[in-house]
Amino acid sequence: MPKVHGVEELEAFRQSCLESREPQRPCLTVCAGSGCNAAGAQDVLTALRKAVERRGLGDTLDVKSTGCHGFCEKGPVMIVWPEGIFYNRVAPRDAAEIVASASNGRRPVERLLYLDPVSGQRVLREDEVPFYRHQQRILFGSNGRIDPKAIEDYFRVGGYAALCRVLSELTPDSVVESVNRSGLRGRGGAGFPTGVKWEALRKNPNHPKYIICNADEGDPGAFMDRSLLEGNPHSVIEGMIIGAFALGANEGYVYVRAEYPLAVEHLRVALAQAEEFGLLGDDILGSGLGFRIKLVQGAGAFVCGEETALIASLEGRVGEPHPRPPYPVEQGLWGKPTIINNVKTWASVPHIINRGADWYASIGTARSKGTMVFSLVGKINNTGLVEVPMGITLRKMIYDIGGGIPQGKALKAVQIGGPSGGCIPASLIDLPIDYEQLTEAGSMMGSGGMVVMDEDTCMVDVARYFMEFLEEESCGKCFPCREGTQRLRGILSRICQGKGTEEDLPLLEDMSWMMKETSLCGLGQTAANPVLTTLRYFRDEYLAHIREKRCPAKVCRELIVYSIEPTLCDGCHACVHVCTTDAILGEKKKLHTIDNAKCIRCGACLEVCQPKAVLVS
């Protein structure tokens, strides 16, 4: 790989990359992100390459491993270019037929095309699949086209063009002004205006200055940052180099969770390529800018997503937050001015430079600009990564993109913003998703986790689950968070066991507001959101647990009773065989009954009963 010494030389190399590409040459791009890999994508890749080799097509047909395409529910997924044919749930046994179809222009493999459950018709192209059709993929648009380990592929989709423009045409102040005017807000949690933060660091006269990419994604069910680093690591690197130029920094860090081995591997490769190419190091592209990026793996502490705790971890100290001010832009890493932005924030910067601040500001709402990437998970037909304009409604997210709730069940709530987010009820399904609207509803944008819940979800148990998670992840440094999460979890557990009282409800609210107002960092200040929102929107469920000793969703073990319907029981004895406590009585071919004094409510009998005679009340 040649080292490039100037902007013109880089542009010439980019042009050679484009010219070497044959637009009409067939290419099979297979998603090899973590989700599709778990579904067997590597076996599919191997089978496709063997099929190409057997047919002697190595010079005319390419097989490429790419990052996450987003539609995780249907993995492994792949695209046949240049037609854009979308195949889902591909298996190794399909390889020969796919290669034959792609190589001679035969009809596509129809059984592998997406089946639209609404129309009942097969969908040919990726951009026609409802899951993709309603998205606006700015950050993830290239994931399905490029090999994350090939810098040449990134050049072919316009990679490092923004850096060339910055170094040859713009000044540091004009870059900061563009980011400010774009309206870009931090994509990692609080949504603080990125340009304001950059301006503060730019004006700080102290040196050295540091920039940090926060990839410590720890929300349950969230995998946006991981997938972006896995699929397009150069987009993040380019954003950081532009930030270094604008802010006068010479050293940067990517703080990524060690639980993301594929993201770490691809990022290591991309950093090495960028340095070998002359995009990192001394005198980048002859501009005089010297900048290097170091990769640091975090140990998985949720609290290290908070910027001051992250800095402490980078310095080799215990990952605990400290009071602000001083803010990191004043005193950050090793006491020096520091900027911390999320993976998605850094990856947005090249797009803003390439297409303009006004273009970016035209997307979204008045105060929430651009797109946001969500991990859509839970009780939803189409799970995966979704990139949409700010301001899209929950209804469109869940039904147009997500395909609705499985088995025709009713939507009950959507938990947005990670474990510290809030639970939005189905009655607010037309709520626009932006920073202000979510905050007003009691939730938060967070880093983009979105968990969908159906009618079978107990909201009291949901609050208990998230409080248990946050109790375990609290660093324990401040009393309100350390004790508050424990006490809230304890009260919620008692209510789920049928031991709560009505006096517990105002106590839950008082403790929650105390934590919001007095906790040291964002984890403690937002930890009670699941409690406050479930009390706000689902108080009737709390009262059912307390007054009636009943769990309406039939989830809380201590509050449910198993019985056998006499008219349905055929005495097959299947339930007797799986009961570990001998709670089911009755001879074979005769009516069975359940001794609830022995029953531990494990649900095993419910699962094996073919005539559906086991009832839960």
Assess whether pLDDT exceeds 80 at residue 524.
yes
- Residue 13's pLDDT band, with cuts at 50, 70 and 90, is confident
Task: Judge: domain 151-361, CATH 3.40.50.11540.
Answer: yes
CATH number of 459-547: 1.20.1440.230
DSSP string of 333-378, one letter each residue: GGGS-EEEEEHHHHHHHHHHHHH-HHHHHTSB-SSSBSEEEEEEEE
- Dist. CA 579–CA 574, nearest whole Å: 9
Assess whether pLDDT exceeds 70 at residue 167.
yes
- Dist. CA 151–CA 276, nearest whole Å: 11
The model's pLDDT over 318-331, given as tens digits with 9 standing for 90+, comes to 999 998 899 999 99
Quickly count helices (H) and strands (E) in the chain: 25, 19
Assess whether pLDDT exceeds 80 at residue 190.
no
- Across the range 261-265, mean pLDDT stands at 95
Assess whether pLDDT exceeds 70 at residue 384.
yes
User: pTM for the whole thing?
Assistant: 0.93
- Across the range 210-224, mean pLDDT stands at 90
Average pLDDT, the chain: 93
- In three-state secondary structure terms, 106 is coil
Percentages helix, strand, coil for the chain (3-state, rounded to 5) are 45, 15, 40
- In three-state secondary structure terms, 577 is helix
Report the alpha-carbon angle 83-88-94, nearest 5.
90
Domain(s) labelled CATH 3.40.50.11540 in the chain stretch across 151-361
Assess whether pLDDT exceeds 80 at residue 472.
yes
The residue whose two tokens read 């809230």 is 488
- With a CB cutoff of 8 Å and minimum separation 6, the contacts of 568 are 611, 612, 613
- The torsion of the CA quartet 436, 438, 441, 444, rounded to 10 degrees, works out to -110
Q: Which run of H or of E encompasses 244?
A: helix 233-247
CATH number of 371-454: 3.10.20.600
CATH class, range 561-616: alpha beta
Cis peptide before 82 (omega within 30 of 0): yes
- Dist. CA 218–CA 364, nearest whole Å: 26
Assigned token pair, 506: 């105002």
Give the pLDDT confidence score for residue 299 in this predicted structure. 85
Q: Which of residues 43 and 571 earns the better pLDDT score?
A: 43
Domain(s) labelled CATH 3.40.30.10 in the chain stretch across 7-132
Assess whether pLDDT exceeds 80 at residue 105.
no
- Residue 1's pLDDT band, with cuts at 50, 70 and 90, is low
- With a CB cutoff of 8 Å and minimum separation 6, the contacts of 231 are 33, 66, 67, 68, 140, 142, 143, 146, 148, 266
- In three-state secondary structure terms, 257 is strand
- Across the range 374-379, mean pLDDT stands at 94
Q: What is the percent of the chain with per-residue pLDDT over 90, rounded to a whole number? A: 74
Are 292 and 250 contacting, i.e. CB atoms less than 8 angstroms apart? Answer: yes
Task: Judge: domain 7-132, CATH 3.20.20.150.
Answer: no
- Residue 300's pLDDT band, with cuts at 50, 70 and 90, is confident
Domain(s) labelled CATH 1.20.1440.230 in the chain stretch across 459-547
- Dist. CA 13–CA 99, nearest whole Å: 31
- Dist. CA 349–CA 194, nearest whole Å: 10
- Dist. CA 270–CA 571, nearest whole Å: 63
Query: Distance of CA 30 to CAs 44, 65, 132, 234, 344, Å?
Result: 8, 5, 17, 19, 23
Give the pLDDT confidence score for residue 230 in this predicted structure. 96
Domain(s) labelled CATH 3.10.20.600 in the chain stretch across 371-454
- Across the range 234-256, mean pLDDT stands at 97
